[in-house]
Amino acid sequence: MTKTIVIIGAGFAGLQLARKLKSKHYNIIIVDQYNFHQFQPLLYQVATARLEPSAVSFPLRKVFQGRKDVRVRITRVDNIDTGNRQIVTPDGTFAYDYLVVATGCTSNFFGNKNIEEHAFPMKSTNEAIALRNRILLNFEDALSATTQQQLEEIMNIVIVGGGATGVELAGALAEMKKNVLPRDYPDMDFSKLTIYLLEGAGHTLQNMSEAAQQKSQQYLEQMGVKILLNTVVEDYDGHVVKLKGGQTINSANMIWTAGVRGNVPAGIPDSLIVRGNRIRVNEYNQVQGLPEVFALGDIAYMETKDFPRGHAQLANVANNQAKNLAKNFERMAAGKELSPFVYKNPGTMATVGKRKAVVDLPFMSFQGVFAWLTWMFLHLMLILSVKNKLMIFINWAISYFTNDTTLRLILLPTEREVEQAETHTDLKIKKAA
């Protein structure tokens, strides 16, 4: 008898599971609020106008053309009814034999409503587009600034969070300041543009080696980024960044990359939610006490001997958990014993700018040009389609030789687009104040 697997979320884990699981024993329903998969590691390049959103976003229905066993439903999950084995959405209910929660994570503002309202996060394609518009509109505003305070707020860009996203974004903005903006705005003095990178710990790239931390900081400082370590943001009202200790930075542009929390759907018992708003699972990615429910990727918290505090929230972890679960679904159908998930860390990396990157492998660390080429190659290989790989490679090649791109388009939604979004019950519109 064919059983139904419902996958909530089409991020790295959900998409990988659906692609790998091709079995006559299962039908698959993918439920996501967007009709596309987004390649989050390159969203910062969308935000800085290096890549178009379409280069890092892939239509789900296109991915599964020809798969009669996969259905895609674009809607929001309101509740998981584990008693009746169904999920509740605005478009009705979907029954399941097995449920896979792969809802990923979202920005963690640590309960600060002011920061949540005024800062710019970057966890989705939509948020990256909004940030791109803000960055480009920022310098248009500078042309008409009437007071010194207004100009200072515009010319100070504050990035909160010194992880890979914050470091890569700071480096991209620094290159934009040096190579692009003076040509676009020859009548403006960009020596006054200051890019701040704020980190609460004592170094950037907290999860990487000491050599990578030191080199990334050195690169950024050479590029003119002002790094403030051991610095905690207490509040932000859209104009002034208030730091712990009483210091302030005037800025109309605060980008938040300081933390994430899991997107846990309603219906998962509170007793199964652990720190970081993640779902506790066993070594087979089964939610404890709910053997027919699984959790994958960033949302899953699995304690093992090698990872007593859970696995890092990385794409590679999500992909490998999905591959293992796909095999286990096949084993379940065959009545075989399940195989536990074992993760071997292949390494981590981050790019800072042109010919500047840091790479940590299990057996060595290296930085510089070769690290930069390694970063580009591996990210390019992770892109889904050949068309998108080609688009990204061409854009990177043009940018390398010209230090410029042609993608700086300010595309704001029309009234009709806002109306369409508001009438679609699954989309949330955050209106500007």
Structural domains of the chain ordered from first start? 3-33+75-107+261-333 (3.50.50.60), 113-258+347-402 (3.50.50.100)
Percent of the chain with pLDDT over 70: 97
Q: Judge whether 258 and 70 are in contact, CB under 8 Å.
A: no
CB atoms within 10 A of CB 10: 29
What band does 419 get if pLDDT is binned at 50, 70 and 90? confident
Tell me the C-alpha distance between 162 and 201, whole Å: 8
State whether the Cα torsion 44-156-349-8 is positive or negative.
Answer: negative
In the predicted structure, residue 167 carries a pLDDT above the cut 70: yes
Quick one: which of 312, 386, 381, 376 has its CA closest to 343?
A: 312
Residue whose tokens read 């889904």 = 384
**DSSP per residue over 249-313, as a string?**
EE-SEEEE-S-EEE-PPTTS-GGGEETTTEEEB-TTSEETTEEEEEE-GGGEE---SS-TT----
Instruction: Please count the CA atoms within 13 angstroms of the CA of 219 that sit on its side-chain side.
Output: 28
State whether the Cα torsion 32-44-52-120 is positive or negative.
Answer: positive
Q: Judge whether 276 and 295 are in contact, CB under 8 Å.
A: no
Tell me the C-alpha distance between 165 and 4, whole Å: 37
Look at residue 433 in the predicted model and tell me its pLDDT. Answer: 31
User: Beta strand 194-198 with 226-228: parallel, antiparallel or unpaired?
Assistant: parallel
Q: Judge whether 297 and 11 are in contact, CB under 8 Å.
A: yes
* Residue, of 97 and 427, whose pLDDT is higher: 97
Element (H, E) at 113: helix 113-118
Quick one: which of 29, 124, 65, 43 has its CA closest to 385?
A: 65
Q: Judge whether 58 and 388 are in contact, CB under 8 Å.
A: yes
Average pLDDT over residues 22-34: 94
CB atoms within 10 A of CB 72: 19
In the predicted structure, residue 99 carries a pLDDT above the cut 60: yes
pLDDT 10s digits, 174-225: 999 999 999 999 989 899 999 999 999 999 999 899 999 999 999 999 999 9
Per the prediction, the chain carries an average pLDDT of 92
Percent of the chain with pLDDT over 90: 82
Average pLDDT over residues 299-317: 93
pTM metric for this prediction: 0.91
In the predicted structure, residue 343 carries a pLDDT above the cut 50: yes
Look at residue 431 in the predicted model and tell me its pLDDT. Answer: 38
CB atoms within 10 A of CB 217: 21
Element (H, E) at 130: helix 125-143
pLDDT 10s digits, 224-280: 999 999 999 999 999 999 999 999 999 999 999 998 999 999 999 999 999 999 999
Look at residue 424 in the predicted model and tell me its pLDDT. Answer: 65
